[in-house]
Amino acid sequence: MNNSLYIAATGMQAQQLSIDTIANNLANVNTTAFKKGRVNFQEMMHVDAAQNAVGATGGMTTALQSMGISIENVAKDFSAGSLTQTNSPMDIAISGNGFIEVTLADGSHGYSRGGTLQVSKDGYLATSSGHVLKPTIHIPSTAAAIVVQADGKVMVQNAGQDQLTEAGQLELVNFSNSAALKMVGSGIYQPTEASGDAVYGKPGTEGLGSITQNALESSNVSLVDEMVTLMIAQRAYEMSSKIVQASDEMMSLTNNLRR
């Protein structure tokens, strides 16, 4: 295949994924605690056979050249979104770094940036999707109010009582490379080899954020930034398609040459 066609094809494929990622970001602009995706590109290398030569020792020397573009990864940008006050005691947000650990349906562990909580049928604090928080925090059926403090301590006020009693302690989890976490849906992430191991800590310590009750974290998607990025991706796609057209015209001229 003509090299220019191959290079242009890789460019079009890469920009298509970029546009798909931007579309997903825009679609989730109002999704609680949504973290935008970012496509990272890298150049493709190949061995240039024309540059291979026998060296003085008789060995082959190999020349690498850049030919086209490929996708390195689609990383998550975990920059903080703004906090929106909701005045609902079951809404919590993380102000700063960290995730709340939850237990998924298959028994594995997932990690959430917070959201609207509920009390499960068994009396445990859980996400709105039904994932029980870990460590488990049991809320008695007599609880009339739930208070989540900035340090993660969960207090309950039983009906007919004025004092608060401690029900449990929320922990936060951080990763050395949060951008490599894998999204599994419903605002839940799972670790990968690239993300590193989970590091646990008390909210407000060891670089971890604090818990804010009566608030939700907004998406960190910026409409202006996404629209600018979309225009750049569209222009890059258009230029790659013009390269395909130009290469096709050149080959057509070559095929129609007459002696």
Domain spans of the chain, in order of start:
3-51+63-78+221-255, 83-217
Given this model, what pLDDT does residue 63 score? 56
Given this model, what pLDDT does residue 52 score? 52
3-state helix, strand, coil in the chain (%, to 5): 25, 35, 40
Phi, psi of 120 (to 5 degrees): -70, 170
**Parts of the chain with a pLDDT under 50:** 54-56
In three-state secondary structure terms, 190 is strand
Given this model, what pLDDT does residue 56 score? 47
Tracing tokens 């009566």 back to the chain, one arrives at: 214
- Residues with Cβ within 8 Å of 134's Cβ and at least 6 positions away in sequence, in order, are 101, 102, 103, 109
- Residues with Cβ within 8 Å of 95's Cβ and at least 6 positions away in sequence, in order, are 80, 83, 209, 210, 211, 212
Residue type, 139: I
- Residues with Cβ within 8 Å of 16's Cβ and at least 6 positions away in sequence, in order, are 237
- Residues with Cβ within 8 Å of 48's Cβ and at least 6 positions away in sequence, in order, are 63, 64, 65
- Cross-strand partners of 216: 84
Say what the pTM is: 0.82
pLDDT in tens, 36-49: 999 999 888 665 65
In three-state secondary structure terms, 48 is coil
